[in-house]
Each structure stands twice: as structure tokens, then as C-alpha cells.
Amino acid sequence: MKEGSLEHTPGEQMMFAMKAVANMQSDCIQLFEDLDKALPGLKSFYNTVVTLDLGYTMSARRYLAEGLIRLYHSPENDAEFLSINICFFDLNDPRFTEPIFVVARISYEPTSVDQKEKTKRGWDPWYAFLSWSPERKYGEPVTIERPKQREAIEKIAVIAAPLLTINSIDDAIALIDKVGRP
């Protein structure tokens, strides 16, 4: 910052933005940790993995997570899931204007899960709300039976809210309860 000035240089503004993103992602991980404790009896499908598409080579051209994922299921039933996506941005969708918190209750066809299917499952809530749903309305669950885009899904109930309205574990649980738990 220039001495005696309230203006910040472009580099300083970029640093503030990067710190804000890092802090937001840290808060999201804390929310996932709180959800892990608040959902007894459910097991994480990905253990401690929270993103599947982070670039690590020069060809990726971007290295920020577009979103974070958390999938839960009962150890007795691998076909029923509670899935959460925190979607930060989508460079390909101009209608996506703010980070969102998406929750889905998903019933999958009972089948063995290969690595390709395991990766797809991570982003099913994102696609259900942002692409497959006939309209995007925050706070209202939408149920989609057998989406043609994903043959492995029998039924998905999805709901979303702007991420910045999720101020507590209770806010997240309220959305979860609107779609139901496995």
C-alpha cells in the first residue's frame, strides 16, 4: 500500500482475494469435519479426499478447486448416499454467479463401482442441481427419477443454497433433512 494512501496495488488486491479464497476453503473443510461428527452411522465414500479434479501438471491450466465433495453412505447399504458438493465456480456456466452448497440424497443402481463410476459419483449433486434440474431454486428440493444423463442413478433428490448463507452446522443439517438421509 502506498504510504498515506488508502488504495491498494493490483498485487495487494490479488493477495487479499487469494487469502479470502484460502480462508473460505478452510472454513468448508471445517464444515465437512463438523458434518462427519453430526452424521453418526454414515461412512465417507472417499475417506479424507475432498476434491477430484485439482490440476497438478502444466497442461491443466488452472490449479484452484472448482468445488469440494463429501459423500456419505451407510456401511450396510452401498447404493444409498448423502452427497454434498460445495461449488465455488464454473468457468463454463455464466448462470453460476456465486459459490453454492448442494446436498443430494441419491439412490444408485446396486452394482460394483469401478474408478470411473467412483469419480462420477463425486459430482452428481453438482450436475443434478446445475444441469439436470429443470430450474434452479435455492432452498427447494427437486427430485429427479432416473436422470438420462446418469444411468447409474435410480433417483436423486437435490437442494442447494448460496454458500454464504450456510453459517452453521445447523444450516447445513436443515438442508440435509429436506432431502433425507440414507
pLDDT digits (tens, 9 = 90+) for 2-14: 555 568 899 999 9
Has residue 63 got a pLDDT over 80?
no
d(CA 120, CA 61): 22
- 17 pLDDT tier (thresholds 50, 70, 90): very high
Structure confidence at residue 84 as a pLDDT band (50, 70, 90): very high
Span 45-53, average pLDDT? 84
All three cell numbers of 148: 438420462
Q: Where are the domains of the chain?
A: 10-179
Mean pLDDT of 12-23: 93
Determine how β-strand 67-74 pairs with β-strand 43-44. Answer: antiparallel
Interior/surface letters 56-67, b for 16+ CB within 10 angstroms, e for the rest? eeeeeeeeebbb
Helix runs in the chain, H state only: 10-38, 115-127, 169-179
pLDDT at 12: 92
Query: What is the pLDDT at residue 24?
Result: 93
Which region among 55-59, 75-79, 157-161 has the lowest average model confidence (pLDDT)?
55-59
pTM confidence score: 0.89
Torsion angle, alpha carbons of 148, 151, 153, 155, to 10: 40
CA distances from 128 to 99, 144, 177 (A): 16, 8, 18
Nearest to 180 by CA among 119, 69, 80, 105: 105
Rounded to 5 degrees, what angle do the CA atoms 133, 136, 137 make?
125
Confidence (pLDDT) at 22: 92
Identify the pLDDT of residue 58. 81
Band (148; pLDDT cuts 50, 70, 90):
very high
- How far is residue 115's CA from residue 7's CA, in Å, rounded to a whole number? 50
Mean pLDDT of the chain: 90
**Overall average pLDDT of the 116-145 stretch:** 91
Closest CA to 104 of 136, 120, 78, 128: 128
- Cα torsion 105, 161, 173, 145 to 10°: value is -10
- What does the pLDDT read at residue 138? 96
Give 31-42 pLDDT, tens digit per residue: 999 999 999 999
